[in-house]
Structure 1
Amino acid sequence: MAEENDPKDSLLLAVLPFGVMAVVTALDLTSGPGVGLLPLVSLGPAFAGLTGGWRRTAVIGVVAVVLCLGLSAFDGLFGTRRGFTAVLSVVGVTAAGLVAAVLRQRREAELASVRSIAEVAQRVLLRPVPRNAGRLRVAVSYTSAVAEARIGGDLYEVVTSPQGVRLIVGDVQGKGLEAVETAAVVVGAFREAAYDEPDLKAVGERLERALERHLTREKFVTAVLAEVRDGTDCTLLNFGHPAPLMVRAEGEVRYLAPPERALPLGLGAHGAPGPKPYQVSFASGDQVLFYTDGVTEARDPSGVFYPLEQRVGGLTDPDPEAALAAVRQDLMEHVGGPLQDDAAMLLLRHRDG
């Protein structure tokens, strides 16, 4: 989400037009008419048009005109060509400021409308996941690389099916609305296939077919699918996505890399074999962190990648959402500024039944 404006910055912008006019007035009174500072009074309404509404700009413009008339009288320029030119410049800049203020307010209203539509799209595409699913507890974190954006090309979903809890975390190649549209196709296909298909490989094949009908050119989606049944195993199916991170109850941390690398979704038409499902033990107290490359490829100001494997200490928090929030906060502190790519994380924690 967009960050709130700093109150100090807002106050500075509010007093700036009056401050500029006050400085111009003081300089004009001390230096006299020979310097020719009178037209600079127009800086007041100029700054007002850039930062305030049209009403405020109009009020400051009126103040500037009155001030210009008063200073021209003090300087003995009232009724002269120089005095008339100074007043005309103030009126002209005020008119331009009013136009700028109206256009800016219109753009802000349009942006607010787009943001509200994006929030609705987020609720449809990236709806809240269940916090509890059988023996599992789930938490999700999504951070957009664009401060005003709510959604992007990263995706996730959790479905409780007759075969167990199934989930997907993925990353669409590219940016913008096309990436969001592709993410919607993947999530929609997964919601249906995860409930209907008998095994995880069949779910992946459904996703591949859905993308064959949708994608054009060399577009693709990296994704990792997971399935947890009633036992103590977790089945994974990795389509070229960063390997999930396992955090054992006793503290061991390791990546759950697939036995063989596979192509991302959308490239199956090239004839390469699809990924093979592989199992890992998943017992009480264990956690699996799924994420997109926006996490591991995030860099600090010196260019060092975020060391996810070394920075999962925050996952010890008994509340999964608080644990994931601690990792996200650590990520943002590592970067020290806005992210260069969207970053999604999904934490799966095994608990006693």
Structure 2
Amino acid sequence: MDVRRDVAAGVRQPWQSSHALLVIPIVLIVVITVVDQLVPADIHLGPLLVIAPAITASFAGPWLTGLIGFLAVGAQAYIGWHFGVLFSRNVLVQILALAVLSALTVFYCVVRERRTRQLAQVRMVAEAAQHVLLWPLPEQIGSMRIACLYLAAEAEAQIGGDLYAATPTDSGVRVMIGDVRGKGLSAIGEAALLIGAFREAAHHHTSLPTLAAALELSVARNLPELEPDEELGERFATVMLVEISDEGHVTRILSCGHPPPLLLSPGSAVTVPVHPAPPLGIHGTAPGDYTVDVFSFEPGDTLLLYTDGVIEARDADGAFYPLPERAAQWAGSSPEKLVHHIRRDLLDHVEGRLDDDAALIALCRTPSPHRTHRHGPGLHVGGFAHGTGSVPR
């Protein structure tokens, strides 16, 4: 697993750097020992030796810290021997105090390393949970090139309440992106519920309205078991469903309270108009209550799906992240480069600290010269249209 390699690399790098930094406490011990012998007899610098193990603990483990502590105690004993007062009460107390403080510093290092290992283990578990919940999307599904990004707001977390999934069907590709209200384990559980329901229902419902109704039914059936008592009846999820046909360039989307996607062409970013239904979990909705919006997704274009954690991210002055303007700058990039640019720019905008989870999916239709153009009713190349759940398939 990649996280294990990352943890191992993170362990090797501090170990190598600590060897270089070890020169500092060693030089400090030598300098204090030499200077103490040169200053007048009534000035005692030996107690300053405690600085050496103290600073070593900031960059090294217990073994190296213990070694420096041992050298510091030895230097203190040498100073006492040099002046012929090694067994005097004052020098013995100084040696004992230095040994005790060094031992406490080593104990602190042991506790710190244990917690570091525990944190590394938690990260491995979080990474495994992320791969179970949010399966990495393939780079290519049919004629679609895909790149995705997930940024969790919680410190040290890999997953949260945002979700996405994609699955090939007999007629094309279906994609879902969503955002569960709330944070913590309950939000993760609800996200897992929706992803599992989508992966199963996407293959059993021929239209997006019936698929959305099936997700609503699944949420209504299972959500009460996941809601915290203090938020009973207040949890919901916004979802965007996308159906990209293999034949022609017709693409259908259905929004359940989710922000509309961006359609990127070289040099431009257009917001796809949607007619959103209520979020899932608000109240029961029949298939006829949903509106399917239809547009033309041409080869070379990129469809950018995102959660509100992206567009609601604020900078130090409180300004929202201008996703359409920024995405237009990289409209001609591949999905991987587009997601990379937005990730770096978004984190720069918020100075590295997000207040909410953020997710992105970039889908690029690869050119296919052998595919014929087929457009739905009322649909023009480069235009948008909408209809009810009865839109012909």
- State TM-score, norm by structure 1: 0.86
Which of these residues, 121, 127, 136, is aligned with residue 113 of structure 1?
121
Alpha-carbon distance, 1:346 to partner? 0.4
Question: Given the alignment, which residue of 124, 141, 151 partners 2:149?
Answer: 141
Partner of 1:159: 167
Is 2:360 aligned against 1:352?
no
Gaps of 5+ in 1: none
Per-residue deviation, 1:349: 1.6
CA shift in 2, pair 1:73/1:176, >3 Å? farther
Of the three residues 298, 312, 318, the one matched with 1:297 is 312
The CA distance in 2 between the partners of 1:211 and 1:15, in whole Å, is 61
Instruction: Give secondary structure in 2 for the equivalent of 1:316.
Output: coil
C-alpha separation in 1, matches of 2:335 and 2:342: 11
- Cα distance, 1:15 vs structure 2: 4.5
Match of 1:267 among 277, 282, 291: 282
Amino acid aligned to 1:341? D
2:265 corresponds in structure 1 to 248
Other-structure match for 2:208 = 200
Task: Kindly state the Cα deviation for residue 85 of structure 1 after the two structures are TM-superposed.
Answer: 2.1
* 1:263-342 superposed matches below 5 A: 263-268=278-283, 275-312=290-327, 313-317=329-333, 319-342=334-357
Separation (CA, whole Å) in 1 of partners of 2:185 and 2:31 = 48
Q: Deviations over 1:176-206 (max 9, x none)?
A: 3333222211111111111111211222222
Matched residue, 2:252:
235
Residue 289 of structure 1, CA deviation:
0.4
What's the counterpart of residue 56 of structure 1? 64
- Cα 1:246–1:93 shift into 2, 3 Å: same
Which of 88-97 and 110-119 deviates more?
110-119
CA–CA distance in structure 2, aligned partners of residues 125 and 14 of structure 1:
44
Note closer, same or farther for the CA distance 1:46–1:198 as it changes in structure 2 (3 Å cut): same
CA–CA distance in 2 between the matches of 1:16 and 1:176? 44
Instruction: Give the Cα separation in 1 of the matches to 2:262 and 2:147.
Output: 15
**RMSD across aligned positions (CA):** 3.1
* Contact 2:313–2:321, Cα closer than 8 Å, also in 1: yes
Q: How many residues align?
A: 349
C-alpha distance in 1, partners of 2:23/2:280? 55
Show CA shifts across 1:192-238 (max 9, x none).
11111121122222222322313412222222111112332222122
- What do residues 2-21 of structure 1 show as CA deviations (whole Å, max 9, x unaligned)? 89879898678544544554
Percent of pairs with identical residues: 37
Give yes or no for the alignment of 1:170 onto 2:178.
Answer: yes
Counterpart secondary structure, 1:187:
helix
Q: Decide which of 222, 226, 242 is 1:226's aligned counterpart.
A: 242
SS at match of 2:253: strand
Unaligned runs of 5+ in 2: 369-393
Q: Is the 8 A contact 1:294 1:343 kept in 2?
A: yes
Aligned partner of residue 277 in structure 1, secondary structure = strand
Q: Which residue of 2 aligns with 1:91?
A: 99
